[in-house]
Amino acid sequence: MGVNYVVGEVADFHASPFIMVSSSGGESQRPPVSCKPLRSATISLPNQMNISISFNSVVNAAGPWAAHVAELAEIGSENLPLRLPVEPRYRQIFVVRPKNTLSHIESHYPLPGLDMPFMIDHNRLFIERRDLSGEFIVYSDNPKFDSLNNNCNKQIARLDNVPVKERHHKQ
C-alpha cells in the first residue's frame, strides 16, 4: 500500500465498466449499494500538463472543495438524492497575543480570564481565548472584511501598537 502525492487539480474521474454491489452485512437494515467503482483520475498539473493516476481506493480530502470533487466522481450528482454538504467559505483568522503576557497584571485593564466566553458580535466577528498562553483567536466570516486589502492590514498593524488603555477609551 502506498500514497502518490501530486500537486494538481482533479479534472475528471474514470469508473470501472463493471458494476459493484456492496452491502453492509450483518443485521443492518440498509439496502445494498450498486455503483461503478472509480479506478483512475485525470489530474491537471500546475504546468498545464494532465496525468492519469490509477487507484483502488481514493480519499476525498479536498476540504472546502470536496463537494466539487464529489460531483466529478458523480457522488451527489443530480441523479443521486444527496449532495455532499460542504462548500467554501470566505474567512479570516488571526492569532492575537499581548507583547508582554504579564503586562496586564500591572495595568488597570487586565486581560480576560480563562473563563472568558466565546464571543460573537453582530458583524460576525468571533473571539475566543486560547488556554494559558494569553493568546486570542479572532476570526470572521464577514465577506466585507478582507485581510488581503492593504488598508485592512494597516488598520490591524495600527491596532497592534495602540496600548490597551487607549483602545479601551476610544470604543
What whole-number percentage of the chain has pLDDT above 90?
13
Q: Which residue has the cell 453582530?
A: 122
Q: Reduce the DSSP state of residue 42 to 3 states and report it.
A: strand
Q: Which residue has the cell 487586565?
A: 110
Phi first, then psi: give them for residue 103, nearest 5 degrees: -65, -25
Measured distance CA(67)–CA(88) in Å, rounded? 9
Q: Is the pLDDT of residue 168 over 50?
A: no
Measured distance CA(28)–CA(106) in Å, rounded? 63
Tell me which residue of 47, 45, 42 sits closest to 72, measured CA to CA: 42
Q: Reduce the DSSP state of residue 77 to 3 states and report it.
A: coil
Measured distance CA(9)–CA(5) in Å, rounded? 12
pLDDT of residue 130: 81
Q: What are the grid coordinates assigned to 140, written together?
A: 470572521
Q: Whole-prediction pTM value?
A: 0.52
Determine the average pLDDT of the residues in 11-22.
86
